[in-house]
Structure 1
Amino acid sequence: MRLVLAGGLVVAACSSSAPKPASPPSPAPAAPEPTPAAHAPAKPDPNLAARTKFENPGGMWLPQQLALPSQVETLKSLGAEFDIKSLSDPLADPMGAVVSLGFCTGSFVSPDGLIITNHHCAQGALDVNSTKDANYVENGFLARTRAEEKTAGPAQHIYVAQGFRDVTHDVLDNLSKIADSTKRYAEIESRYKALVAACEKDRPGIKCEVTKTYHGAEYTLTEYLELRDIRLVWAPHRAIGNYGGEIDNWAWPRHTGDFSLMRAYIGKDGKPADFSPDNVPYHPKHFLKIARAPLSEHDLVMVAGYPGRTSRLDTYAETKWDIETWYPWTIERLKASYELASELMKLGGNTAIKAGVAKQGIQNGLENYEGTLDGLKKGDALAKKKAAADKLTAYLAMPGHEAARAAVAKLEKIQEHHRQVAIADSLRSRAEGGSDLLKVAHTLVRIAEERPKPDAKRELGYQDRDMPDHVAAQKQFAPDYDQTIDRAFFRLALKRATVLPAAQRPWLATILGTKATDDKAIDAALDRLYKSKLTDEELRLKLLKSATTADLRKLHDPFIDLALALAPERRKKEAADKREAAETALLAPALGAAMRDSAEGALAPDANGTLRITYGTVRRFEDPKYPGAAFTAAPEILKKDTGKDPFDSPPALLDAIKKKQWGKWADPTLGSVPVCFISDLDTTGGNSGSPTLNARGELVGLLFDGNIESVSSDVVWNAALTRSIHVDIRYFAWVLTQIDHADALAKELNL
């Protein structure tokens, strides 16, 4: 399971693009095409040979890069049947239908704001609405009418990209003339805020952000439409949506129905709005069409989405340290968290439900780190990284590159210092943020500090534009929070921090109220802290909206008092981090530009949570560890099912398979419903729920996972070992119609 630029303005990043006013429900899509069996015999495919020979070079491409002649030519050779340059326009089909959930990807699939994404991307919405008497996490959920759709929570927003603008010069010009690093950082932050403010001015519902690529050699301003009323519509039973569970995670073959549906709503005035029963469905300008023609091995497929983070442009020294130090340490930390979540699940009730959701996320991260480390230690990954470093060194040694060479040398010293303190810094941040209540207290203290300042002078994240998000987070707090879980994980973070030498953890004595660090001291501190009144939503919101620092001190709340006590050291650490960031902002662009300019052909920047496109082919594994076809089929579930979690399919699904009730969703080659397929696409975390498109730009599946060997490709790309795993859209349609009998949704989707 997979759980953020060059070129000119694609569309005016600050142009008017408010959502259109509410209108009566849109007409249904055009009548469906014939089912696969009704298609005429396939004609010879002139592009099949090219696709068969294709070796994916990797690349999570910026939309702008798909307009490059080399990209257009490659996609044409693979058989693309639409205007390829449309991929570079976020307001055109199909990109206009792709949305960010903030942590996953989704896409509009109907004119009435219906969004398809992964089942595991809906876990938060299922958890928020679950009780011990209505466990939607386990049993799934179906709204048979729109009135039955449940809010996904006030913090669940959907972001629709509206445009991109290159702002590299706006951010970097003349920074080198500011000698003082503190002043330089302040200037960088001021430029960020000015760009965002100008983009959002007088445009409610629009969120803008500045992101960097190529180590800061390029900066992009991205504009989003932010939709705030998101509702849960359908998620299948756990034994469909998470079939195979931890055992099958990061593995092939798969039989997981990792899909769900949500819906976006807006106010009757056509503007984004918070949840209200009076809101109406949002009508997107674009939505994806579900493919009718069968998908086959070697077919062209594309994924558009919001991949989180990759580190392929890290230096050799950084990667070597990660392998030797950071990954092993992180794996040990995640194992301890996993064991704790497993123990908490034994407590039953809502605690067990929430601990199970937490455990699923921890386990996913743990396997990711373990797979990455294993993949990098095997084979020639580090050798490839060293070869790339040697090539870069040779490039920098060429005449005319003296300034870049000097900048990279200085940057390496900063990176070395960062590595020396990374683990201590991580232990500190995890301890100081180890409790959700302490995080709330930190937020309240910080907002109180910033409130007296003019809005433009406030720190990023604490301006007026950020307050709705803070309010939504506090409203989301209660359904997400469990004190037993919170205290247990906070205790674990504090215990882990005790391994640091006393000189490196003076802040720990502040948290515990004593220099003692034994279990008795930790438990006594927790007993004192959890007498806090911050579980009161009315109090949190009141403090968030108006409290001064003096007001907070008068409360004598234990968590707030702790946040106030930690604030001086926090400000000191932030000041040091800003000075380092200001130095890096001058030096790192030289490294990124050198990597980009010395590359043979186009170089995709590392994933950073922004909209990307990747393409390739449906392709089975070359590794004998994974024998078999590129598709799995529903009848295979009968052989796999044991009746015990995680291989315990609902009886209705097993019965339909036994009776071969395929409806119109059988594949003509398989003779049954396909469940999942694999491709050679380049994807990572954040791509979860991303639409998988065919050569016509139609929806053929959802990306939800990759093989365990693929995770090391986040660091060093390996085409032979990397496969992405998708759930076939025909399995989605079959489960929706034949198993859950969601007739209204089937009609809306024209199934």
Structure 2
Amino acid sequence: MKRLLALVLLVAAALTVVAVRADQGMWMPQQIPQLAAKLKSLGFQGDPQAFADLTGQPMGAVVSLGGCTASFVSPEGLLVTNHHCVTGALQFNSTPQRDLLTNGYLAKTREEELPAGPGSRVFVTTRVTDVTEAITGGLDPKLSDRQRYDTIDVRLKERVAACEKQGLRCSVPSFFEGLRYFEIAQLEIRDVRLVYSPHEGIGVFGGETDNWRWPRHTGDWSFYRAYVGRDGRPAAFSKDNVPYQPKHWLPVAEEGVKPDDLVFVVGYPGRTQRHQTHAEVKATTDWSMPRSIRFAEEQLAILDALSKKDKAIAIKVAGRVQGLNNGLTNTKGVLEGLVKGGSLDRKQQQERDLAAWIDADPARKQKYGDVLPAMQALQEASLKTRERNATLGLLSSASSYLGAAQTIYRLSLQRPKPDIQREAGYQERDWSRIREAQDRLQRTIDPTADRALLAWAMSKAAALPASQRIEPLDKAAGLRAGIAEAEAKGTIDQYLDRLYAGTKLADSTFRLGLLDKSTAEVQATQDPFIALAAALEPLAESIREDGKALAGAYAKLRPRYMEALLARAGGLVAPDANSTLRVTFGQVKGVRAKDGLFYEPQTTLQGIVEKHTGEGEFDAPDTQLAAIKALRAGKQTPYLARALKDVPVNFLSTVDTTGGNSGSPTLNAKGELVGLLFDGTYESVASDYLFDDEKTRSIHVDVRYMLWTMTEVDNAGHLVREMTAGPKR
């Protein structure tokens, strides 16, 4: 009990300490009141306690889209997020004859608003509760690694089940590497509709050339609307549904921001790895990242060639291409920052300092001395089959056919079990989501692209060494260790001929119908992809079982590792991002990115004109160029920044963000909307592993550019009026 009390006090210190740079840290909302003095010095005019009230203003207006962030900007459920966060909705509603990905979309009336597609969600966080004692309290230290994993797993599922009896969607993520657990309760809105998205020449201006780069001139915004049943409760899509009426929405600051202004970003950052060990990060830089870069480039080359030949394929693979491109540039930047930028060396020194601090005191050595060596041993053990395990996963991600078959087959195995014993992701609470994903798959599945990517992935499997073969695939396809590349290609082609000729999984009726079938009924279809999924399942299950034992071992070590970090730092450690609601703040500032190169903090319309080439990634629409010309000729606009003598487009700030923050509202010191977070600079991306408090900058789209475009270019004045009219909440 004394140790538990000390641990609670230690973590409480981490949640309340203020003696750190304010622009480092994706803070939990309850931490913000403790930063009141720092905020006041930066010009904050509100009550810091407001950020701890998840159902108040502004926190009640900020929502998750399940991978991106959005915010309510009107009392009629209007949501603003990033353009790249609605790519799926644009793709879902596109055809070669009506290409919304290229031309954008604007609903002039509520009746014209388009369904974002099956599986689209808006999550409104309503409650966060500390449940650490319920999850890890009273664990017998004599439990085996697997027993520890199973005990925690059951407790997590029980908490989620109890929480969801209230009609909410719940999760119980860990913070501080398993030291604390918080139960997150969210309202889950299931009817999401596309309202407005600008032309790609605005929303994706600069493309991959400018991605993660500065100066930037991208209009990365789009709008959804959330709908519910007439009773005000979440409901599936129906024409009878009505706009959701949030209790809070963000007022728009039409005056925008200027250099040195205080800004907040509220959102759902995905993952950071700042508390990984040096060995874990080094394995990432030595193997995972170079492999990811190489594989992304190879897949993009395949998809680019296919897309140039067929517009329909280009539309179907647009989301995959966007994800691969974004991940590729990000991974290159992280790798460069960790190795060339010296972050990996600094990480190693930090760990050496921690080890020395532990060894310097007998009590600390007894308490923590075994942690780092034990984690090192686990890391080394995990490397033995990483090639095989990663390649097995590559097969599933490359082929939508195989991925669907594996989902169907595994669901059939899980259904007969009691719900508490089903694997996470296959419990009854997940069945509707699985069905929606398989339904939505119809808009992206393509046999030509799928076969090309699966052939590529199988070539990687064919090249595996003898000690790491995927034996069920070898047996099914006729591959073997040491097979020559040319022979492997011919063997793979013959096997794929049989697979794609015999499958019915491209038929949505057939595919969806299998989701309710027993394992025997699924196998009785004799679909070749189902047969392959069944053959691969024992190996996949074996890997999952090994992973559970490993997770159980880490569940005993990581909290102690984190406890040592917190104790040494005096509590000055922020929790890693984990897709939960966070608040970060900083200032609008430029940065000296490299020797002789300084990034100014703002860009303007002039940069669009200068970059415009009329083709490719720098092809601004004629309507926008005409509007800029009219502005230059003297047309008045309230969105002009006097100091810049132009309409501002994007700006930099020192806030601490990562993936998942995309679409997050950027707020001024009054809590008003001044922009949207959408990217970071190339020099910043390694901060996911080790924060750089000098060079880290996030990129935002200025609300004035959004309003100017909506008013002067896209004839979306009705949405501007909806956002700016009425009471401020």
Query: In which range does the TM-score fall when normalised by the shorter chain?
Result: over 0.9
1:185 equivalent to 2:149? Answer yes
Counterpart of 1:312? 274
Residue 576 (structure 2) pairs with residue 576 (structure 1): no
Specify which of 248, 255, 264 is matched with residue 286 of structure 1: 248
Question: Residues 214 and 599 of structure 2 are in contact (CA less than 8 Å); yes or no, is this contact kept in structure 1?
Answer: no
Offset at residue 332 of structure 1 (A): 1.3
Q: Using a 3 Å threshold, how does the CA distance of structure 1 residues 94 and 625 change in structure 2: closer, same or farther?
A: farther
Matches within 5 A, 1:76-155: 76-155=40-119
Cα shift at 1:329:
2.0
- Distance across 2 between alignment mates of 1:347 and 1:174: 62
Structure 2 segments unaligned to the other structure (5+ residues): 1-6, 13-19
- Matched with 2:563 is 593
2:350 aligned residue (378, 383, 388):
388
Cα distance 1:510–1:111, how it changes in 2: closer, same or farther (>3 A)?
farther
What is the TM-score of this pair, normalised by structure 1? Answer: 0.90
In the alignment, is the contact (CA less than 8 A) between 2:479 and 2:488 conserved in 1? no
Cα distance in structure 2, aligned partners of 1:134 and 1:337? 27
Q: State whether structure 2 residue 600 is matched by structure 1 residue 629.
A: yes
Corresponding position of 1:227 = 189
Per the alignment, residue 664 of structure 2 pairs with 690
- Which AA in structure 1 matches 2:568? S
1:378 pairs with one of 337, 340, 343: 340
CA distance in 2, matches of 1:55, 1:514: 56
Matches within 5 A, 1:161-560: 161-177=125-141, 179-201=143-165, 203-204=166-167, 206-397=168-359, 398-401=361-364, 402-505=366-469, 506-515=471-480, 518-530=488-500, 531-545=502-516, 547-560=517-530
Match of 1:710 in 2: 684
Partner Cα separation in structure 2 for residue 535 and residue 330 of structure 1: 28
Cα distance in structure 1, aligned partners of 2:393 and 2:248: 42
| 2:187 aligned partner, one-letter code | L
Amino acid of the structure 2 residue aligned with 1:583:
A
Among 30, 33, 37, the residue aligned to 1:67:
33
For 1:666, give the aligned amino acid. L
Deviation sequence 1:131-177 (CA, Å, 0-9, x none):
01100000000000010000110111111111111122211123334
| Superposed CA offset, 1:208-240 (max 9, x none) | 011112221111111111111111000000000
1:57–1:648 distance in 2 versus 1, CA, 3 Å: closer
- 1:608 partner letter: N
**Inter-partner Cα distance in structure 2 for 1:98 and 1:419:** 40
Q: Residue type of the partner of 2:612?
A: D
C-alpha separation in 2, matches of 1:526 and 1:558:
10
Q: Note closer, same or farther for the CA distance 1:526–1:191 as it changes in structure 2 (3 Å cut).
A: same
- Counterpart CA distance in 1 for 2:353 and 2:493 is 54
Deviation at 1:6, TM superposition (A): 7.6
Q: Deviations over 1:239-284 (max 9, x none)?
A: 0001111111111111110100001111112111111111111111
Question: Helix, strand or coil for the counterpart of 2:617?
Answer: coil
Superposition deviation, residue 628 in structure 1: 5.3
**Are the counterparts in 2 of residues 596 and 603 from structure 1 also a CA contact under 8 Å?**
yes
Cα RMSD, aligned residues only: 2.0
Aligned position for 1:25: none
Name the stretch that deviates more: 481-490 or 513-522.
Answer: 513-522
- Measured in 1, the distance between the counterparts of 2:699 and 2:300 equals 24
Q: CA–CA distance in 2 between the matches of 1:158 and 1:314?
A: 31
User: Are the counterparts in 2 of residues 303 and 613 from structure 1 also a CA contact under 8 Å?
Assistant: yes
Give the SS at the match of 1:727.
strand
Deviation per CA, 1:94-139, whole angstroms, max 9, x where unpaired? 1111111111111111111111011111111000000011000000
Q: CA deviation at 1:588?
A: 1.4
**2:78–2:223 contact (8 Å) kept in structure 1:** yes
Q: CA offset at residue 602 of structure 1? A: 3.1
Task: Give me the whole-angstrom Cα distance separating, in 2, the residues matched to 1:289 and 1:681.
Answer: 21
State the AA in 1 paired with 2:657.
T
- Note the C-alpha offset of 1:632: 0.9
Deviation, 1:474, is 1.7
Whole-angstrom distance in 2 between the partners of 1:7 and 1:162? 26
Distance 2:476 2:66 in 1: 32
Deviation at 1:514, TM superposition (A): 4.8
Q: Name which of structure 1's ranges 574-583 and 507-516 shifts more when overlaid on structure 2.
A: 507-516
Unpaired stretches in structure 1, ≥5 consecutive residues? 11-53
For the 8 Å contact 2:639–2:705, the answer to whether it is kept is yes
1:747 offset after TM fit, Å?
A: 1.9
Offset at residue 197 of structure 1 (A)? 0.5
Q: Does 1:607 align with 2:577?
A: yes
Q: Helix, strand or coil for the counterpart of 2:30?
A: helix
Code of the residue aligned with 1:247 in structure 2: it is T
- Residue 60 of structure 2 aligns to which amino acid in structure 1? G
| Deviates most, 709-718 or 636-645 | 636-645
Task: Measure, in 1, the Cα distance between the counterparts of 2:339 and 2:579.
Answer: 27
* Conservation of the 8 A alpha-carbon contact between 2:639 and 2:708: yes
Q: Hey, what's the Cα distance between the residues in 2 that align with 1:526 and 1:533?
A: 14
Which residue does 2:4 correspond to in 1? none
CA distance in 1 between counterparts of 2:145 and 2:179 reads 19
Aligned 8 A contact 1:351 1:482 in 2: yes
The answer on 1:620 being equivalent to 2:590 is: yes
**Contact map agreement 2:23 2:584 (CA 8 A) in 1:** no
Question: In structure 2, do the counterparts of structure 1 residues 185 and 629 end up closer, same or farther at CA, with 3 Å as the change threshold?
Answer: closer
- Give the corresponding residue for 1:39: none
Q: Deviations for 1:638-659, whole angstroms, at most 9, x for unmatched residues? A: 2221111211111111111111
Aligned CA distance change for structure 1 residues 422 and 597 (closer, same or farther; 3 Å): farther
Structure 2 CA distance for partners of 1:483 and 1:443, relative to 1, 3 Å: same
Residues of 1 paired with 2:597 and 2:441: CA distance?
Answer: 43
Distance in 2, Cα, partners of 1:409 & 1:136 = 54
CA distance in 2, matches of 1:626, 1:732: 28
Distance change >3 Å, CA 273–CA 234, structure 1 → 2: same
**Alignment partners' CA distance in 2, 1:330 and 1:625:** 32
- CA gap of 1:432–1:474, structure 2 versus 1, over 3 A, is closer
Counterpart of 1:528 in structure 2: which amino acid? R
Distance between the aligned counterparts of 1:561 and 1:628, measured in 2?
56
TM-score by length of 2: 0.92
Q: In 2, are the aligned partners of 1:154 and 1:274 still within 8 Å (CA)?
A: no
User: Are the counterparts in 1 of residues 387 and 464 from structure 2 also a CA contact under 8 Å?
Assistant: no
- Asked if structure 1 preserves the Cα contact closer than 8 Å seen for 2:22 and 2:38, the reply is no
Equivalent residue letter for 2:28: L
Give 1:637's aligned amino acid.
I
Q: 1:285 to 1:625 in 2, by over 3 A?
A: farther
Relative to structure 1, is the Cα distance of residues 174 and 678 closer, same or farther in structure 2, using a 3 angstrom cutoff? same
User: Secondary structure of 2:592's match?
Assistant: coil
Read off the aligned partner of 1:481 and give its amino acid letter.
I
